[in-house]
Structure 1
Amino acid sequence: MTTAVPAGAARRTALPRPYLLWLAGAQAGLLGDAALSFALGWAASGYGGGAAGLVLTAVTVPRTVLVLLGGAVADRFGARRVMLVGDALMLVVTAGLALAVAGDRGVPLWLLVGAAGVTGTVDAFYLPASGSMPCRLVPADRLPRALALRQAGGQCAVLLGAPLGGLLVAGGGLAGAAAVDAASFGAVLLVLLRVRPGERPVPAPAVARQAGLVREAWSGVRLALGDPLLRAALLLTGAAAGALLPVVSLLGPLLARAHGWAAGTAGLVTAGQAAGVLAVAATVAWRGGLPRPGIGAAAGLCTASAGIVLLALSAGPAVAVAGGTVVGVGSGLFACHLGPLVLGGAPASHLSRVQALLTLVQSLALVLSTGLLGLLADATGAAPPALLCALATGAAGVAALATPALRRA
């Protein structure tokens, strides 16, 4: 005889301790990375805008080119092993960077580009492995709450990373930021040595292993394209990344300048967006997500679309901040409901490869749309591209509602 557990009680069941331990270490690592990223960009900006762009490109290019291979490596050899190697390597690199730039010596540009290139390369292997960890540590019924808690922590790391980086650069220069990041990698290593996730491997046939990592990476693409739910989720992710993410980061500051507002107002819009994401993530982490996550993700995009319209047509700072907050609420709804769909829909043998494909789709869509939206803003002002983003985001939400695989998930 079995006893039914009330839905509310199931939602509030504690998350597994190994997951919470890993998440604490991962957030410490994210905070250290955000601080160092600010410090690298600040140091590169001393050489001019072209140099700063070169450093950012040195991170993005290897991450984008190698991420599918990184997912295949994590699925074959184990996510935990890949993360241990990545953290150990970055500990050595950041500690070496701190020693190399200690004192009053100038920071050569080649060293900045080299550090950025190593970071992007390690990220290509680390991100797919890390993205699959919640599914390896948390039961499926608690996965939405686990991912929401991770989303909230990641948002906090992003918010605090730049101010922390500024303080570290002011107090100890690039060497101080690199030393703190090295310490954060050491903390993550200690956590990973204690946490042993169930890899849930599906033994691969000998023929598949002999095919090589490139074919294994391509098999993840074939799997996602052949599965109706994963295919729809990836397309929706690309649409959201291209139409939603550039709004606050690119168009928000341009709108503020067009209205003659101070930089602090643009910062408040960004803060409002972050507050909206945090509010939704905290709610989902505590109470759980909607019973139909596909509908929740679609509702998030429609909500974000309304916020973008409010931001684009705002005549005063208060309305702009309100618009940014609504955009954040919609973004949080989308991320907290689509993430469990992607992880839950991926077979255990392809967890990291599906995460790698998700990262690739986001990166490509964001890179393409950011450049095009920037050119359009130069030609027409910031409001028309913002309204175009609102239209695209709303259309993506409606399309998600009309997609059976997402609507019934």
Structure 2
Amino acid sequence: MTRERMPKGFTAWVAATVGADLGSGVLAFALTWVASGHGPNAAAAVLTLTVAPTALFGLLGGAVADRYGVRRVMIACTLALMLISTGLALVVTVWPGTPITLLVAAAAIGTVAAFHRPAIGVFPRLFVAGAGLGTAMARVGVASQIAGTIAPPLGGLLIGLVALSGVAWIDVLGCAIMVVVLLCIRPPLTPAAAPDAVTARGIIDGLRTARRTPGIPTLLLCVGLIAGAVLPAVILGIPLAARERGWSAAEAGLIEAGWIAGGLVTGLWFSWRGIAVRMWRPMTAGAVVVALGLGGLASAPLWMPAAASTCVVGAGVVMFTAHAFPTYLLLAPARMLSRFQSLLVLVQRAPQLVIAPLVGAGVAATSTGPMLAFAGVLALFAAFIVASDATLRSFTSATSGSA
């Protein structure tokens, strides 16, 4: 493991990420909490509509970034999120927290995210290519985790103080900070534009190349399994478990913050010391740790052991992703970075389209415990798949790439 010095402009973007992610995180918690007050099915519907546009437009989003440039797409998407949050703040002032308002806001945010997320995921590689990419991505992850640690408890507090409208204005401020920073910085590495990317042939070529690249299909499958296990469990399972087990909104926020806090500690280590050389080992171990944490959350009767369990989940997730994501980008061809990244985002989000409605229906019929235990089994399956792939077992963080 080695320490890395990042290029000029990268640190400013990472700092702005804290503000932007804090605003979006507070708003996400507030939307889910307000929706859960209308019942588990309403909460599941809000989560589903946040995710569904990724499945519909995610591949197109990656193609757009390859065609027009990652930075331009990030600026446009951040401006769009500002408009959405402004509209939400104004609407809920008149019609506070109605289900239709929550659903429309979730769908709008999800649609922008379909174009935004592939660009964000590629952006670190425009500053660093090669062995330092893992460190750069870990530092971005730490910034997001700092915001994520603060956002849920802050969201639980603010939803009672300033209501949903006030939370939406906070998101507007975070987006404004990010737009200013993006306008001021220029990444040193800029891939050549791919004029044919935003065509049916360009999108299909990206899919075919991903399928044929050794190690990529396995990474996509395992990321999908981890995301399908963790995201519904944390985003939807915790608010539902809180209402089921008598925890308050503030306690639910602290529990949800636990998985980010656990990831933050782990991410700080990787951002300072760098990632492991043999990437597959921490990927496998991370998936096992995730499973253990989800098992603890499934059986926790009180909020404090539940928060401890989510800390374990967060540590395992970052242990896995800090090595899986750089491996994925280093294996991707430079001319298809955003299209490959859109696939990665798709497999993180698409499983929730199936799992989130099942969670809502399952919790309504039984309880949150069995759902969380099943999520742990999915994580164990991912660990087995990583350990079985010959390409990933031979891949090291010394592999270099170029933008």
Q: TM-score range by the shorter chain?
A: 0.7 to 0.9
**What's the offset of the Cα at 1:257?**
7.7
Which has the greater radius of gyration? 1
Equivalents in 2 of 1:50, 1:16: separation in Å? 46
Partner in structure 2 of residue 123 of structure 1: 113
> In structure 2, what residue type is equivalent to 1:67?
G
Change (3 A) 1:330 1:39: closer
- Residue in structure 2 matching 1:23, options 14, 32, 39: 14
Q: Which moved more, 1:72-81 or 1:320-329?
A: 320-329
> In structure 2, what residue type is equivalent to 1:335?
T
- The percentage of counterpart residues that share the same residue type is 36
Partner in structure 1 of residue 388 of structure 2: 402
Deviations along 1:59-84, one digit per CA (max 9) or x if unpaired, are 33323311110110000110111112
Partner in structure 2 of residue 106 of structure 1: 95
Equivalents in 1 of 2:238, 2:31: separation in Å? 24
- Residue in structure 2 matching 1:332, options 318, 333, 353: 318
1:194 aligns to 2:180 (yes or no): no
1:82 aligns to 2:73 (yes or no): yes
> In structure 2, what residue type is equivalent to 1:234?
L
1:157 aligns to 2:143 (yes or no): no
Equivalents in 2 of 1:317, 1:113: separation in Å? 29
Deviations along 1:192-221, one digit per CA (max 9) or x if unpaired, are 1111124532464x7x46xx5333223222
Change (3 A) 1:54 1:402: closer
1:228–1:405 CA contact under 8 A, matched in 2: yes
**What's the offset of the Cα at 1:183?**
2.2
Change (3 A) 1:120 1:389: closer
Q: Which moved more, 1:144-153 or 1:265-274?
A: 265-274
Give the SS at the match of 1:141: coil
2:41–2:357 CA contact under 8 A, matched in 1: no
TM-score with structure 1 setting the length? 0.82
**What's the offset of the Cα at 1:112?**
4.9
> In structure 2, what residue type is equivalent to 1:286?
W
Give the SS at the match of 1:292: coil
Change (3 A) 1:177 1:257: closer
Matches within 5 A, 1:270-285: 270-285=256-271
TM-score with structure 2 setting the length? 0.83
Matches within 5 A, 1:162-173: 162-173=152-163
Equivalents in 2 of 1:267, 1:165: separation in Å? 7
**What's the offset of the Cα at 1:159?**
3.0
Deviations along 1:91-110, one digit per CA (max 9) or x if unpaired, are 344345545666xx335856
Equivalents in 1 of 2:243, 2:91: separation in Å? 39
> In structure 1, what residue type is equivalent to 2:268?
A
Equivalents in 2 of 1:85, 1:396: separation in Å? 35
Equivalents in 1 of 2:90, 2:299: separation in Å? 50
2:44–2:359 CA contact under 8 A, matched in 1: no
**What's the offset of the Cα at 1:397?**
0.8
2:62–2:338 CA contact under 8 A, matched in 1: yes
Equivalents in 2 of 1:34, 1:318: separation in Å? 22
Unaligned runs of 5+ in 2: 396-403
Partner in structure 2 of residue 5 of structure 1: none
Matches within 5 A, 1:6-405: 11-41=2-32, 55-99=46-90, 105-107=94-96, 109=98, 112-198=102-188, 200-202=190-192, 204=194, 208=196, 212-249=198-235, 262-263=247-248, 269-312=255-298, 321-372=307-358, 375=361, 382-405=368-391
For this pair of structures, how many residues does the alignment match? 393
RMSD: 3.3
> In structure 2, what residue type is equivalent to 1:155?
Q
Equivalents in 1 of 2:106, 2:310: separation in Å? 31
**What's the offset of the Cα at 1:120?**
2.0
Equivalents in 2 of 1:51, 1:188: separation in Å? 31
Equivalents in 2 of 1:13, 1:249: separation in Å? 33
**What's the offset of the Cα at 1:375?**
4.9
**What's the offset of the Cα at 1:122?**
1.5
> In structure 2, what residue type is equivalent to 1:159?
T
**What's the offset of the Cα at 1:373?**
5.1
Equivalents in 2 of 1:37, 1:325: separation in Å? 20
Instruction: Tell which has more relative contact order, 1 or 2 (C-alpha 8 A, sep 6+).
Output: 2
1:294–1:341 CA contact under 8 A, matched in 2: no
Equivalents in 1 of 2:84, 2:313: separation in Å? 37
Change (3 A) 1:160 1:68: same
> In structure 1, what residue type is equivalent to 2:19?
A
Give the SS at the match of 1:360: helix
> In structure 1, what residue type is equivalent to 2:128?
V
Q: Which moved more, 1:399-408 or 1:106-115?
A: 106-115
**What's the offset of the Cα at 1:322?**
4.5
Equivalents in 2 of 1:181, 1:381: separation in Å? 33
Unaligned runs of 5+ in 1: 1-7
1:69–1:214 CA contact under 8 A, matched in 2: no
Give the SS at the match of 2:131: helix
Deviations along 1:206-262, one digit per CA (max 9) or x if unpaired, are 7x46xx53332232222211112111110111121223444445556777788x674
Change (3 A) 1:189 1:17: same
1:302–1:398 CA contact under 8 A, matched in 2: no
1:295–1:406 CA contact under 8 A, matched in 2: no
1:299–1:334 CA contact under 8 A, matched in 2: yes
2:295–2:376 CA contact under 8 A, matched in 1: yes
